[in-house]
Structure 1
Amino acid sequence: MKLVVLLAFVGVCYAKSNANDAIWMELFSATIADAANGHKVNDDENIPQLAGKLGLNTLVALLEKTNLTDALAGEGPYTVFGPTDKAFAALPKKFVNYLLKNLKLLTKILTFHVADGKVLSSDLSDNQLVPSVEGSSIRINIYKNGTVITASGRQVTLPDQEASNGVIHEVSGVLFPPPGTISDVTAKCPVFSFLNKALEIAQLTSVLAGDGPFTIFAPCDRAFKRIPKKCLDHLLNDTALLTKVLEYHVVPAVGYSAGLSCGDELKTVEGGSVKITKAMGHVRVNHARVVYADASTTNGVMHVIDRVLFPRDSDGFCEDGALDYDDSSDEKNDVAEHLRFLNPF
């Protein structure tokens, strides 16, 4: 009798085990299927068709307007970093209207989103430069243990959407060809006249024209003007101190916003560290506010700040409140107007 009961119990347990195995295998199979669909090859859809299916409607419309649809429907293969409709909608209307009347420039911007060959996200590496069809290179950066990938600072939000003739990586922003090196930008842009002069005095212009990569927290002219004149004169006449201060603004790596987190401490060329904080809709570096972020250059990225940064052991040269912070100015709009050619958001 006991043997019969034991065999019956074993039979029930075995049946439950089989049922549990079946449930587990079904869940496992469904999970794999979902993951596979995220990396699905759309054999019957070329890149423009897949872009439409993904809801990249503005991109599709602009490709048609610039007569690029047939090219991207061709044999390829191509890799396309495709901005979402929201990314295009974030551009200033005035700038968009200008682009729609200047199809040559619009074509240049769109072709900067395209690379020859099929490059999946697993093929990308940090600081990789991917030559675009436009001619400039798209800088790839990988952050947070591979969970965040950016293309010229724009975060890849949906990677590896494979078409019959290539792949689309959906991105959160519109990419723009870089206008030159960091030194080129400081020389050309009116809001950096003080910074450009200071870099020349400290003989750092050639350094920031090099390969990099660099991140520079670039003080605009108003940042320098906050320093009392006699203190600023002192700074500009003390080359060693000036060099130390300027090097404190430079990080020997590329740190786009998507890769920075609140509390991050970034080691600078000077040797000290700057701290990133994010609160109340503002990003700050130490106590300076970032008024314009993610301006791509050929050798890194520029974040424009409203205050000059001073290393801990160099802030005693001025006793007139040079480091007091005033958040009441409107330089954010002023800087943005002059930097449209860098990153027209």
Structure 2
Amino acid sequence: MTARRNTGIRRAAFAASAVAALALGPALAAGSAMAADGEPFGPGCASVPKDGSGSFAGMAKDPVATAASNNPALSTLVTAVKKAGLVDTLNSAKDITVFAPTNAAFAKVPKADLEKLLADKAQLTKVLTYHVVGRELTPKQLEQGSFDTLSKQRLTTSGSGESFKVNGNASVVCGDVHTANATVYLVDSVLMPKS
């Protein structure tokens, strides 16, 4: 009789735990999905609009060149991408990472040098494609990374947590921003490929 009662108690406990697992399952799955997605990070993220097409939610709906055109901090980059004829290339690419120089990054380039670059489509294309890696990169992959870019040259990344450098000198000011086809890391310097 005691053995039967213990079996009944065990069955009841198992049933209760199964019901609890079923009830908590969706919540646990949602929690793990939120952790996997990650949130944009960095001091430069404060300049991103809170709503509208230029917000993080708005950018997630558009391909990367379109998303960048809606972000006021990237207007110089967008001008350069248009001059190089890369809008369709970037918008149609799948699962890429873009290290996007902010307006402040372009402002560091001497005005005469920037004007010369913008006027030279071949060189501009080489510089811009040096900012693009042909696969999506997570912050974890940036800790000690070396990646081939679309310009066929490599760039390096280092750092941890929410502090990352590209090629040892450009800082990620707003990272892990998602668009419909890319992960974007806004950087505070224009990356220059070897000539």
TM over 0.5: same fold? yes
Give the TM-score of the pair, scaled to structure 1. 0.43
SS at match of 2:109: coil
Q: Deviation string for 1:80-106 (max 9, x for gaps)?
A: 3316xxxxxxxxxxxxxxxxxxxxxxx
Write the mapping of 1:74-113 to structure 2, written as runs, cut at 5 A.
Answer: 80-82=29-31
Q: 1:239 and 1:278, CA in 2 relative to 1: closer, same or farther beyond 3 A?
A: same
* Alignment counterpart, residue 297 of structure 1, candidates 141, 161, 179: 179
Q: Which has the higher helix share?
A: 2
The 1-side partners of 2:89 and 2:73 are apart by 20
* Residue in structure 1 matched with residue 119 of structure 2 by the alignment: 237
Opposite residue 193 of structure 2, the aligned amino acid is: P
Opposite residue 224 of structure 1, the aligned amino acid is: F
The 1-side partners of 2:114 and 2:177 are apart by 27
- Equivalent residues of 2:69, 2:75 under 8 A apart: yes
* Alignment counterpart, residue 103 of structure 2, candidates 221, 228, 231: 221
Report the CA distance between 1:153 and its aligned residue: 4.3
Give the TM-score of the pair, scaled to structure 2. 0.73
* Residue in structure 2 matched with residue 270 of structure 1 by the alignment: 151
Count of matched residue positions in the alignment of Structure 1 and Structure 2: 161
SS at match of 2:19: coil
* Residue in structure 2 matched with residue 187 of structure 1 by the alignment: 69
- Equivalent residues of 1:153, 1:256 under 8 A apart: no
* Residue in structure 2 matched with residue 152 of structure 1 by the alignment: 37
Q: 1:295 and 1:235, CA in 2 relative to 1: closer, same or farther beyond 3 A?
A: same
Report the CA distance between 1:277 and its aligned residue: 1.4
* Residue in structure 2 matched with residue 44 of structure 1 by the alignment: 19
- Equivalent residues of 1:290, 1:303 under 8 A apart: yes
Q: Deviation string for 1:10-64 (max 9, x for gaps)?
A: xxxxxxxxxxxxxxxxxxxxxxxxxxxxxxxx521266x427xxxxxxxxxxxxx
Cα RMSD, aligned residues only: 2.7
Structure number with bigger Rg: 1
- Equivalent residues of 2:176, 2:185 under 8 A apart: yes
Opposite residue 24 of structure 2, the aligned amino acid is: L
Structure with the bigger RCO (C-alpha within 8 Å, sep 6+) is 2
Opposite residue 20 of structure 2, the aligned amino acid is: E
* Residue in structure 1 matched with residue 12 of structure 2 by the alignment: none
The 2-side partners of 1:185 and 1:281 are apart by 22
Q: Deviation string for 1:277-313 (max 9, x for gaps)?
A: 1179631001100001100111020000000000011
